[in-house]
Structure 1
Amino acid sequence: KATFNDPIVNEDGIALLAPQGLRRIESALINSKIIDREEIVVTTLENIPRFLSNDTKIIGITVFDPLGKGPASTTMSGLYGIVHRESFNTYYFRRLITSNIIKNARKKGVRIIIGGPGAWQIGYEEMREFGIDVVIEGEGEIIFPKIVKEIFDDLLEYPIRISPKYNEIPSAEEIPPLLGGTIGGLVEISRGCGRGCKFCAPTLRRLRHRKIIDIIKDIETNIRFGQRNICLHAEDVLRYGTFSLVPDHNKVIELFKNKISVEEFEKKLNLMIDEYAQSAVTRYRLELSENTSKKIDSEISKLEFLKNEKAAKALSLGERPKEIRKTLDITEDIKTIILKIASLGEVSEEAEDMYLIADARYRETEVKAQQVEENLKKALEEVEVRKENWRNFLRKLVEDVEPRYNSILSYADGVGKVILRGLENPEKASIELYVGFRGSEPTILDAHTHSGGERIVATLAFLLALQNYVKSPFRAVDEFDVHLDPLNRERMVKLILASAKSSPDSQYFVITPGKLPVDDYVNILIVQNISGRSIVGMISE
């Protein structure tokens, strides 16, 4: 905390100075017209809650060395550094990405995007650990607005790492101007290097030189946001204006001669302020007249409102009497009412309060009951939607599996079908296998109708038909052939081996006491019980 200065923000929490790369992304996003300028804010972690709302869609974070893998960090800190602790960069990045502010934003559905010079350090493992949705590695002025649009349209699957293609790298003219001040007054004059050194990422980027007029505009923007020292930045400042390794003396001199001074800009700024002040005085006088007129209209409206309010209150007490009664008659009526009240006996002074409390509780309970009823209705609707999705999935699965099931059964002179039962109630739903052999009509698979061998063939055929839908990398079948005749045993073995060969990413284990006709791609392990011990051996070629 003693090493770094806090970021400069205005009274609204908006950053006055920010990293140069982040300012480019801010400008590119605004120029893309995907969102309005008022909808994007550059700020600090502590000020995020001031801008976070139900309309917030994205939080973008620029990083320099988030995991401490840069040369300076690995030299000074980490396992092999001078100080065996995580670097400052790593500590502050971890504190930011795991903060309650970011966690609460994710709960609201806000997408977290990481970019900047250190984005290369964030892989899919770190993205899942920290809840990062998108990592953009590389120049983002063209690709970032496209990604934002895809997030708005819900077209991305998360997490995802994205790098710009060659035609998505901005030219010098496509680098957008700064719209705010940069840290250190940094102004980019060239981008890339072009030397092609494989150990250095910037040298692999093509070299581009920005126009002097664009550079001066960025300098003016920095001065307008309070910067008094400007740093012209490039991989090699002396190569400005040339693509050769030899500096172009005239181009470099021209650049520094054209660079605007703070004094020149302040003169221009003072003239602009004088003109603006005169215009502001005129507008103020006009607004003052308009405000006076609005105040008078407001007072008239208030009086009209009070008049109508009092008239309505008087009307609520009853209609205006057509004739005025005598005082004596009114007094007699009051005495009669007093006698009626007395006949009621003693009434607690708290009776009215008790009634109001009971009435309030009744209404509160009524509201809660309505809310519970609405929540239950929504929950039941959601359950029905999920049930229907489940039914559709099962129907589609059976529709895809049944032809394969029949195809496998045909090797054993059989036919079959797969039927789903009771899909209306998931707890009672079931799947039924039908099979028939040697020309007989398919019947439901059970021990009373089919032999042990037929049941094994039908079961194996169904399991083999399901193989493309099984995600486990390991498949095992144990003593499947004990009830099979030699012909069907040979057929099933060939089908199992064919299925294994067609799934190179899965490993099949076939356990049998009998022999297997196999090809070269199959490993055979033999287990023998010799002298009370199991001996395992592998048959080599």
Structure 2
Amino acid sequence: PKEIERVRRKIKELEEKRKSLVEKINKYVEIVSKPELLEKLEKLRKELAKLEGEKSKVEGEIKNVLLRDLKNLKRLLKSLEKEKKNFNLNLKKIAREKNSLLKKIEEIKKELEKVEERMRKKEVERESALERISRFKEVKGKNEFRVAELERRIEEIKKKVSVLDASIKEKRAKFLEYGLEVEVPSLPLDKIKERISELGKKLESYGYVNLKALEIYKSVEEEYLELEEKVRKINEEKDKILKLIEEVESEKRDAFFRTFREIEGKVQKLFSILAPEGEVKLELENPEDPFSGGLEIKARFPGKKLLSMLNLSGGERVIVALSFLFAIQEVQPTPFYILDEIDAALDKLNSERLIEILKAYSKKSQLIIITHNDTVISNSDYIYGVSMQKSGESKVLSIKLP
């Protein structure tokens, strides 16, 4: 610091004076026997003692200054170590939460893939079962038609037999009235055989009838109902998973828009400090699906029209970027910030406006700023400077500003 340099220069001057006086004293000692010089010698001795006292006082002041600075540096180092420890703990916590969320997402994806694979298999089984059931239904339909046809023919024959029996009884009763008893003649054996042959050929024309068809159909039907129940359960599980995914996506979307609106308001507030009467807009490329598009920032500075970031000057881009950065940090604040030459492209007026924001943030967070801007430096609480010595080593100097 300048104070130490001044004290060191004063010590050097005093040392040179002391050496000069010592030389004079030694010179005068040789001629000390002269009375006229004794008074002058005594005066020089008093002056030498005074200089020695001033030297001791200055050395004490230097020692006190160095000890004070050393204590301040130790306190600052201890504070930085503590903040570094807290930062590392928060960083590890965030990393654990991130890994946990990623793991849950992967588990959901794997479970969804398993469910989809099971559904594909069940769908194949269901199609196969439906095909078999269709074939069995077709066979069953043909057999039922043949059985119904036979039953219809049998009923017709029974009706004809009943009609003939009634007619025979009626005729026989009439003959009995006249005292005649009539015997119903039986068919000849060859006619009966011929009739049996005809009926056998008709029966053969119906083809093979699977007597177990109904039993097989019932078994297949039970299997089909079981598969249908499994498919229903799988569809229910799929619907639940899709609903869960939809809820997560909806919650993610709502959280994004809440944060987006909050950041948008804070950006406008901060931008109005850095650029009074200015305007800034955040526009999503795809408002319907914000995660599939980007974000475009437009700003209007006093006396100018609304322009995209690409069309702004370097200093204007810095002002918009700082407004956006600090708005995000207000939504998710951190204990300290490290800012590297954020004011490089700002003029004095904008640098003073930036100082207002930095002072407000310094009340709730610690700011470490790398800068060459005199306006920012003069408004700091502590200044740390690094200089290169002749030996090639770097030297760090610190000053606490009032």
Same-fold status (TM-score > 0.5): no
TM-score normalized with structure 1 length: 0.33
TM-score normalized with structure 2 length: 0.42
Higher-Rg structure is 2
Say which structure, 1 or 2, has more relative contact order (CA 8 Å, 6+ apart). Answer: 2
